[in-house]
Chains A and B, each alone.
Chain A
C-alpha cells in the first residue's frame, strides 16, 4: 500500500496573516493597477563567527589593561590602530606597547546614531593622537558634558582607561580629559 502523504498545507497563524484584501469580483482586473502596494515586515538576524585574525593580540592586550600599537620594524612608522602590514614597505609590523595618553585630534558629539548605538546617545567620538605615533585611534570620550561640545576640545590631553570587564571590542578602552 502506498505511503500516505499530506495533500494540503495546513493553515497556521505564523508570519503575515491577512483577511479580505479587496479584489475585483468580475473579469475586469484593470483596477488592480490602482491598488496600493502591499508592505510586509520580517526580521533578519545572524550570529557571525568573526575572527580578529592578526589583530587579535590588540584585544588580548585590552583585556589585560594594556595598549599596544603596530610598528614597522625598519622605518619605525607606527600605527595607533592595529595594522598587520605596513602600507609603505609592505613589511609585517611588530607590536609595541605605549601608554594610552595623547591629545584630541578631532571629535564630535553624536546626538543620533545607528540603531545599535541609539540608546547611548549623546556620545562623544574622538580621534586620538599619541606622541611618537604616526596615525590616530578612534575612541569614546567620557567625563565631559556632550552638550558642551566646543572646538577648544581639540588639542586637549586625554588618558585611556580600561573596562573592568572586557567585551573584546575597541571600546574596552575609553578616554577622559586630563586637563
Chain B
C-alpha cells in the first residue's frame, strides 16, 4: 500500500434546511472551498484529478436515484471514474476510506471524496421514518421504528449494567454544544447546562432532545493524494502543502438487528476483541469481575463493530494506547450515549467506565469554560468541532466533515477556517475520525497524522 495524504477539504454550512441550493450546489460549495484552499482552479485541477467517490445515505430524501453522478457532473468531473458508497450513518467514513483505497492501491494519484445529504426535503417525522428503514423492516421497523428509541434501549441497558447516569450523558451534550459555539460551520451553537439538557423535551427515555443530533442539509469534501499526486498539485500551483497522512484505517460490522447481537464469553472477548491496553493482568481481572456479574460482549450496550474498526486502525497506525497517543478524536456522537459507548469501544477507557470517563474532563477542550467541575485535565479532546450533536448530521457528509476538521487540526489552520483560534488543539500531531452506522452495524475508524 502507498502512503495516502489528505491535502485539502471543504465543508458547506450545515443547516436545518438549505433551500437556497440543490444538493449539487451544496456539494459544489464544499468542493470549491477545498480547491480554493490549495489555490487551484477547476480547469487546472481537472487535468490532474483521477476520479472521485460519492457519498450519500438515502435515496428517499432526494427522491433521486444516481444523485452521485449528478454531483460528479455538476462539479465538472465527468468523464473521470466515480462510484457511490452507502453504509447508513457511516457512509461518509466509508467514502473517506474508499478514497483512501483508490490512492493506496495505486489506482489513482488524486481522488476527491465528496458527500452530502438534504434531509429537509421531508418533515422531521418522515425523516425519522426514512432513517428507521435502516433497521430490519420485517422485525424492527414495524414494532415502532425509531432510531432514538433503539439507542435509548442501549442506554437503559448501559445504565443497568454499569450504573451510567443521565447526568453523565448530559456532560457530553454540554461539551459538544460548547465546542460548537466556536465553530461557524455548526448548526447548533449553544451554551447549555446539565439542567438544560435534562429539562429539554423527552424524546425516548432517557434521551432528551439535547442528547440527540439533528437532521441537516449539508455537504463535505476531502481531497486525497499519493506522494505523486501531491507533487503534481504542488508543481501546478507552485505551493507546498503540509503533509497529513492517513496512517491507518479500520472497519468493523455487526448484526443489523440489535436483538441478534451475540453475548460472547470472556475468552472470546480476549481472543477477538481486546485492545493492547486490555492485555494487562489488572485489566483481565477487571473484565473477569464484569463477566462474573453477568456482563456479556457486546450485548446491546457496546459496539463490537466500533471495537473492531478501532483495533484494526490502531494496528495499522501502530497505536497501542489511544488515550495518550491521539491528540483528538472526531467521533460519531449521534447520541450523547453513543459517544460514551464509543469511548469504551475505542479504548479510551474500559467497558463499563464510559460514564465516569465522560465527566472526568479528559475529553474536554482546554481553554473553554463549560460551567462544569471537571477533575481531570484535557488529554484527548473528543469532538472539538462540536460533533454531530452540535454540527448537525447530514448523513453522507458527516464522516467527511470529520475528515476536514481533523485535517485542519493537524495543519494547525483551525483559526484560518473558523475565524477563531479557540478550537485549535495546540501542536496536534495525531487524530482519529470515527463514523458509525445503524445500531452499530458499520463502523469506520481512520487515523490521520501530521507527517514528520
Chain A residues within CB distance 8 Å of chain B? 37, 39, 44, 50, 52, 55, 79-83, 87, 105-118, 120, 123, 125-127, 134-140, 149, 151, 153-155, 169-171
Contact = CB atoms under 8 A, between A and B. Distances in A.
B231 interface: no
Contacts of B451: none
Contact of B143 (A79, A154, A171): A171
A116 B129 contact: yes
A37 B261 CA distance: 46
Question: Which 3 pairs between the two chains have the least Cβ-Cβ distance?
Answer: A108-B152, A114-B129, A136-B259
A113 B259 contact: no
Given A80-B259, A114-B128, A107 B145 contact: no
Nearest to A39: B19
Given A44-B63, A87-B255, A108-B153, A114 B145 contact: yes
A111 B144 contact: no
A139 B201 CA distance: 24
Contacts of B129: 114-116
Contact of A125 (B137, B149, B255, B257): B149
Contacts of B300: 105-106, 127, 136
B255 A170 contact: no
Most chain-A CB neighbours within 10 Å: which of B129, B132, B160? B160
Contacts of A117: 144-146
Interface stretch (B202-210, B269-277, B402-410): B202-210
Contact of A170 (B63, B143, B258): B143
A155 B159 CA distance: 13
Contact of B156 (A106, A115, A139): A106
Contacts of B156: 106-108, 151, 153-154
Interface string B249-264: 0000001011111110
**Interface secondary structure of A, over-half rule:** mixed
Contacts of B21: 37
B140 A138 contact: yes
Given A108-B152, A113-B149, A170 B142 contact: yes
B126 interface: yes
A120 B146 CA distance: 12
Given A108-B205, A135-B259, A114 B139 contact: no
A83 B256 CA distance: 12
Given A81-B257, A82-B139, A110 B146 contact: yes
A55 B128 CA distance: 26
B143 A139 contact: yes
A111 B153 contact: no
